[in-house]
Structure 1
Amino acid sequence: MKINRVLLNAAFIMSLFLASNQFLYAQEQVFQVLALDGEVMFKKGEEWQAVELGQALLASDVLKVEDNAYLGLVHTNGHTLALDKKGTYEAGHLASKIRQNKLSVASKYADLYVQNLKNGSAKANPAERALEQKRVKVLLPNSVDVFNDEVILRWKNVAPVGEKYEVKLKNMFNEVLMVKEVEDTKAILNFNEDKISKERMIIVSVNSTEFKDQQSNDYGMKHLTAEEAAPIAQELKELKLEITDQQSALDKLILASFYEQNNLLADALTNYEYAISLAPEVEAFQVAYDQFIFRNGLAN
């Protein structure tokens, strides 16, 4: 009898332990929302509520993704996951399918990205706002450091200026080194091109081909030397080793966060462009891009 009571007590304690562990797991955060498009709901108690950008999801949360909706998640260990098929999903079940190796650097910059989403404040320098407002506005600060060889320049029209543009690249002595003609509001700039590869700093401006007087301000772009880039390059190398699928739009958001945190805004903007091009049907990436522009005061 005594042995039976001991066994019953042990079983009772074990059941309490298991129940406690299950409860703790149910309350554990497993994902954060990086990107959101369309109607996505989660169940809170007996009610369905809209999922919000930057929201933390618990293992016990049940998600419902409707037709043509998109949900981009990052696990607490740094792995990303995209849901774009209609259905109901258990967050805990999704988490169990994620590889368990922790991506420390990716997780760090995913967290910083979510913090930026929640803060949402513009960081424009008042001196920049005081500049003369041109009809063509390049989405850059007055001067910017550039890490990568290739960046995408983007601009917007404050007023109608036609459909064709000239992108002028000059040296510090105001000598024109190169002119690119484009029929879009963006251009790819590669610092390895012969005419600019030896320049320490280049000055960029954009003007309408049809109306030459309709132009942007000048923007200074300095390509970092290998020595200047070294401290950033090491962490970036670690991040890229962690991101196994660098063609993922969600991973491009994390790379954009890395560059933004290191004040490399042209490189960050370029990765937002890559994210949009990889998932052009998902409006969430354009929204993320617009939030980046606002947050850094680049549209002022």
Structure 2
Amino acid sequence: MKYVLLNFLFIFLSLTVAVGQDVQYTFNVLAHQGEVFYRSNSDDDWQSVEIGLELRENHLIRIEKGGYLGLVHQSGKTVPYYKAGTYEVSRLHQRINLKPSAVAQKYANAYVESVTNPDNSAKETTRSVENKKLKMYLPNSVDVFSPEVVLRWKDQETLNDDYEVVFKNMFDEVLMVKDATDTKLWLDFEQEPIASERLLIVSVQKKQHKEVQSSSYGIKHMTPDESAQIEQELRELKLVFSGEENALDKLILASFYEQNNLLADALTSYEYAIELSPNIEAFHNAYDQFVFRNGLGL
């Protein structure tokens, strides 16, 4: 009798685990473009995928010609699919032999939440009230973690002209002036003469019409002590990514930086995502949503 009861208990526990595994999602949809569908292995009708859709092992995916699907695995590993065809989620799951990462899941979920449940009003950020024609996509002051970030601005002027980005120290002394032909500039904190500066005051102006200029913005590069906790989580994220990062990885990194209020770093990650996959509209939309919800460029 005891033997029968033990067998029954074993079967019951096995079924419980199996059910638990079935309800656990395997992949989450981060981005898609074109005609991409999913269904279960039964005779269910094909349905269009959406960002935030949780795919389980019993699902099938169908990507039509010209379609794109960006997935994040429960381990945090991202997988882009460009090739048309029908895929079994169970087989895609078998190809990724990684344990779940709580950090990667946290920031992937935060990204999905920001897209699927957007705030319809822009976040209030500290910024100048002056009505400037040139406006940088920055709050009035911002911390920066990365050694290099992109500075982006909006030009509401009708005058065609190149730009000058002016960098000053806290004593209002000009340290350097950088030319730009586009509405963005890559800033390397390790370059001279700004490498030893903790705080930079930056503004942008028209090259030939210097009276057309933006407000001034404070950019502070974080010290190793200030960035220690950020560095710890970032190391775990990059272990999950491992190898050459793709545009989907950059979305999760952007979410990571945004959640840690590092808006310049987040914007830079979105810029990288678009550079890596310029033809995928989802990355452009994600960038625009980020700018809006954080009240940048207003």
TM-score between the two structures when normalised by the length of structure 1: 0.87
Once the two structures are overlaid, the 10-residue window that deviates more, 154-163 or 288-297, is 154-163
Distance 1:262 1:127 in 2: 17
Distance 1:215 1:171 in 2: 18
Q: Which residue matches 1:209? A: 207
Q: Which residue matches 1:282? A: 280
**Amino-acid identity (%):** 49
Aligned partners of 2:125 and 2:139 also within 8 Å: no
Q: Which residue matches 1:38? A: 34
Q: 1:160 to 1:245 in 2, by over 3 A?
A: farther
Distance 2:57 2:132 in 1: 51
Aligned partners of 2:125 and 2:294 also within 8 Å: no
Secondary structure class of the residue paired with 1:226: coil
Q: Deviations over 1:144-187 (max 9, x none)?
A: 00111111111122232324111111111222111100111110
Q: How does 1:95-244 map to 2 (within 5 A)?
A: 95-121=93-119, 122=121, 124-125=123-124, 128=127, 131-244=129-242
Task: Output the amino acid matched with 1:88.
Answer: T
Distance 1:19 1:66 in 2: 36
Distance 1:18 1:232 in 2: 40
Once the two structures are overlaid, the 10-residue window that deviates more, 63-72 or 44-53, is 44-53
Distance 2:192 2:15 in 1: 67
Aligned partners of 1:163 and 1:184 also within 8 Å: no
| 1:263 aligned residue (261, 264, 267) | 261
Distance 2:100 2:176 in 1: 46
Matched, 1:28 2:27: no
Q: Which residue matches 2:53? A: 55
Secondary structure class of the residue paired with 2:62: strand
Task: Output the amino acid matched with 1:66.
Answer: E
Distance 2:249 2:109 in 1: 13
Distance 2:88 2:16 in 1: 20
Q: Deviations over 1:27-64 (max 9, x none)?
A: 43111111122221223763222211122222222222
Aligned partners of 1:138 and 1:154 also within 8 Å: yes
Q: 1:127 to 1:210 in 2, by over 3 A?
A: same
Q: Which residue matches 1:247? A: 245
Indicate the RMSD between aligned Cα atoms, in angstroms.
Answer: 2.5
Aligned partners of 2:141 and 2:218 also within 8 Å: yes
Distance 2:125 2:238 in 1: 35
Secondary structure class of the residue paired with 2:214: coil
TM-score between the two structures when normalised by the length of structure 2: 0.87
Q: Deviations over 1:175-226 (max 9, x none)?
A: 2111100111110111111111122211111112232222211111001112
Aligned partners of 2:124 and 2:294 also within 8 Å: no
Q: Mind listing any 5+ residue stretches in structure 1 that lack a counterpart? A: 1-5
Task: Output the amino acid matched with 2:104.
Answer: A
Query: How many residues are matched?
Result: 289
Aligned partners of 1:146 and 1:264 also within 8 Å: yes
